[in-house]
Structures are given as structure tokens and as C-alpha cells.
Amino acid sequence: MNWAKRYGFRISAGVLIFFFLRLGHSEILSEFFVFELIDKILLVYTVGVVLFLWEVLDRVFLYFERKKYDYSRSGDLLKVVFILTLLTFPLVVTASGISEFYIKPSLNCPVYEEAIYKEIGQGQIFAWLIIAARIIQLNAVQSRQLEQDKALVQKELLQSQYQNLKNQIKPHFLFNSFSVLQSLIHVNPAQAEEFLSRLSKMYRYILESREESMSTLEKELEILDHYLFLLRVRHEERIEVSIDVDPSKNNFFVPTLSLQMLVENAEKHNRFSKSEPLRIHIFTEGDYLVVQNQVSKKGAEVVSTKVGLENIRSQYDLQSEQSVIVIENDQTFTVKMPILSRFRLT
């Protein structure tokens, strides 16, 4: 709230308080609309008292902020209300006394002894209302900040988990690849050269994208092509991958290395052979990129932690309102990832 709005609101509150007090002192309704010099002076005085009281409360609340008071905790809340009541009550008494015993007599207005008690009571009620409004506002700010802090921590945690997963790909991926490369060097030097070229492009991409949570579908498909080449060299015709992706989605986004993770999971958890190859189909379906593989589980010796899939899900939780869809049955395992035209994080 800028300076003009802040003080405009406070002056308006002071005017409203004056008219409320005036209504309580008017014997008949017609007197409420009659403005004399004393009324104008009391209006300015009331607004001034409200502004002064608000400034004092602002500074006290700054003190509470430095002391890290939490307005959602009953202990802190009661302490704040008690301290502010002790502070505002003498101010209200003083302001009421000045009004009743100095301002009004100096303008030859009648003074009633019981009127000051009424004015003090009403003044303290308004002070409590101002305190309550400020506490509600600050509590809302604290709650919003707490939610933002929680979201930031969760976001950083998920990004860290996703980064760790990508880091885990590197040694496992390299170990298998170098083993294959070693066997190719003497048997098929030309294929070994292409294998090394594809491997270097993949590893360069892994290094360059280590700070990026999302990549274009076109780039992911390009890297997947290199990865599939490496798989074919290792497994020959035991893995068949068909790709049918709408080219208009090429510049949309999916989580970095998500296609490699899903293909690698299918390879890890399923049996396959030359006679019964593992078939993986990658295609677009509306605004989803679908990775589907036939199910032929290896058995209890391979335990699925589903870390890769959970981290892909976490990325979508961070980036958009859309979620990953997983469909599993006896024949197929299907993962549908939203293709995003934009995302929240850069």
C-alpha cells in the first residue's frame, strides 16, 4: 500500500470514528447534521488522534516483527493484545481528557462528567478494532509468506531430487556404454566410431542440460535417437521402438531426459529376446506425449523403486497444473506426459 492510500485510509477511518462518536452524543437526530466551529475542531482533533495512534501501533508492530512474534500462535497473540492494550489505554484516556476538559471548555461547550467515561470506553473499543485489523492483516501476510517459503523449499527439494536422478544416469549409462564400445573397437571399428560419436553427443547434452528441468520435444527426440542407437548396438533386434510424434509439438516442452528415463525403465523391468523383442511405442495423443511398452516383467529379482517416474511427476507438479497419467495392466505399461507450451520455471 503506497503513502497516499495508507494515509487516505487512516484519515477516512478517523472521520468515520468522529461521526460515530458524534451520533452517540446527539440528543436528537437533527443535531447530527448541524456543524459548528466546535464540531470542525473536534473532527480535526479526532483524525489527528487516530493518525497518531496508528503511527504508534506501526512502530510497536515493527518491534513485534523483529522479535519474530507469530500471530497464529495463541500465546504470542495474547501477549501482543495485552501489550497493546496497556499502551493504547493511557493514550485514549489522555486524548479523551484533552477533548472533554480543555477543547470543549475553551469553546464554551457544556461538559458532562459522565461523558468522559463513555468517550474513553468508545475510544478503547476503536483502538482494539484498529489493533485487530492490523493483526489480521499481518497474520495473512505471515501465512502467505509461510506458504511461499514452503513452496520454495519443496520446489528446491524436487529440483534437487530430479538433478540427483539425472546425475545417477551418468555413471550407469557410461559404464554400459564403455563396455559395449570396448567390444566393438576390434570387431567393427566403423560402428565403434559412430557409437563413440553418438555417446559423446548424448553426454554433452546431459552436461549442458544439468541446470535445465525442461527441454523442447524436438531436442528430447534428437537425444533419444542417439540413445536408441546405443541400445540397438547393445541389444541388436531385441528392442523395437516406433515413434509417431506430431511435428507441430516439436517446440513444446517435456522434462529433460524424461524419454530416456522411460525407455531405460522399460528395458530394465522387462524380458526380451530376438524372438520376443521389447516393443516401445512413442506417440502424441492430443496434448500428451505417450510412451507405451508391452509388459513382460523379469520377475522379483528386479525391484522397481519408481524414482524416475516420481521425479517426472514432480517436475509437472512444479511446472503446471497438468499431471502425468500412468496406466498399467497385464499387457502394457503406459505413461502420458503433458506437452507444455509454457512452464513456470526457467
Q: Give per-residue pLDDT as tens, 139-194.
A: 888 778 777 766 666 666 555 555 555 555 556 666 777 777 877 887 888 888 88
Higher pLDDT, 164 or 12: 12
Alpha-carbon distance of 119 to 20, in angstroms, equals 11
Write down the pTM of the prediction. 0.53
What DSSP character marks residue 94? H
Domain with CATH 3.30.565 in the chain: 188-338
Of residues 68 and 35, which shows the higher confidence score? Answer: 68
Rounded to whole angstroms, the Cα distance separating 143 from 73 reads 12
pLDDT, position 296: 85
Q: How many Å apart are CA 92 and CA 101, to the nearest integer?
A: 14
Taking the alpha carbons of 310, 316, 319, 322 in that order, is the dihedral positive or negative? negative
Per-residue pLDDT, 41: 81
Q: What is the pLDDT of residues 291-321, one digit of tens each?
A: 999 998 776 555 555 667 877 887 787 777 7
Three state DSSP letters for 34-96: CCCHHHHHHHHHHHHHHHHHHHHHHHHHHHHHHCCCCCCCHHHHHHHHHHHHHHHHHHHHHHH
What does the pLDDT average to over 1-12? 72
Residue 280 has pLDDT above 90, yes or no: yes
pLDDT on residue 30 = 45
Contact 200, 213 (CB under 8 A): no
Instruction: Compute the average pLDDT of residues 227-239.
Output: 87
The fraction of the chain above a pLDDT of 90, given in percent, is 18
- How far is residue 315's CA from residue 159's CA, in Å, rounded to a whole number? 8
Task: Tell me the C-alpha distance between 148 and 280, whole Å.
Answer: 41
pLDDT at res. 104: 73
Q: Each residue of 96-132: pLDDT tens digit?
A: 888 777 777 776 666 566 677 777 887 888 888 888 8
For the stretch 245-275, pLDDT in tens is 999 999 999 988 889 889 988 888 888 888 8
Q: What number does CATH give the domain 188-338?
A: 3.30.565
pLDDT of res. 152: 67
278 has pLDDT over 50: yes
User: In this predicted structure, what is the pLDDT of residue 303?
Assistant: 53
Lowest mean pLDDT among 82-91, 95-104, 227-236: 95-104
- Residue 49 predicted with pLDDT over 50: yes
